Amino acid sequence: MPRNSQFPFDIVGFDLDGTLLDTSIELAASLNHALESIGRPPIATGGVKALVGMGTRHMLTLGLQQSGEAEEETIRALHPVLIDHYRANLGNNCPPFPGLTDAMDRLQEMDVKLAVVTNKFESLAVKLLGNVGLADRFVTIIGGDTMGKGNGKPKPDPIHEMIARCGGGSAAYIGDSIHDVHASRAAGIPSVAVAFGFLSQPAEELGADAVIDHYDELVATLQALA
């Protein structure tokens, strides 16, 4: 069916961790597996949420810093340990946030194209979303390595690529971190912050154009942004 002319966006993009899925339990398990392999103390699941947003390598670096040194050699040795554990357990315990699938249904009924832009490796993002049965919902899934090293969020490159892969048009982006807001702003599109995500500060302080507390609010919030 043709896109509803009353809806202001052709494309809606989403961050993944802390926005689409609550991946905190899986991420904590894999981070702690890596830390414990060298005798470091584990980090509580709640504490891991604040480390997420710039990819697993960054998460590992911050995790190491909580209990001592985080030298490049240590990071280089432990990152494959973390990734192997994470890849082996993808999708076992990472539910979608309440109301997400209903919100996506409503958007797709209006022929809005959905996409994912995450700083997680593209291969992991594709596999995870496939394992939880959501991959087919998205026109494209763009990872932190898709645009080349150093070109993930908060740079606008992956947002521009998302729009191009979706055929162009007006777009908005949904996320839970300052990097999501900065990437959206740099790309010249509006952003919506989710107050239930992996926040390092209150969602109202991220500078997004709007904040939602539940996915039941998403469609109306996007309409109001017009």
Q: Write out pLDDT tens, residues 111-151.
A: 999 999 999 999 999 999 999 999 999 999 999 999 998 89
Percent over 70 (pLDDT), the chain: 98
Architecture of domain 11-22+94-225: 3-Layer(aba) Sandwich (3.40)
Report the CATH number of the 24-88 domain.
1.10.150
Name all contacts of 45-52 with Cβ < 8 Å and 24+ positions apart: 48/24, 49/18, 49/24, 49/198, 49/199, 50/198, 50/199, 50/200, 52/17, 52/18, 52/23, 52/24, 52/27, 52/198
Annotated catalytic residue, options 10, 15, 176, 180: 15
3-state SS, residue 41: coil
3-state SS, residue 116: strand
- Alpha carbon 86 to its chain's center: 16
- 178-187 and 157-165 helices cross at what angle (nearest 10)? 60
| Domains of the chain by residue range | 11-22+94-225, 24-88
The confidence score (pLDDT) of residue 2 equals 41
pLDDT digit string (tens) for the chain, length 226 residues: 345 568 999 999 999 999 999 999 999 999 999 999 999 999 998 888 888 877 889 999 999 999 888 899 999 999 999 999 999 999 999 999 999 999 999 999 999 999 999 999 999 999 999 999 999 999 999 999 999 988 999 999 999 999 999 999 999 999 999 999 999 999 999 999 999 998 878 999 999 999 999 999 999 999 999 8
DSSP 13: E
Active site residue 216: no
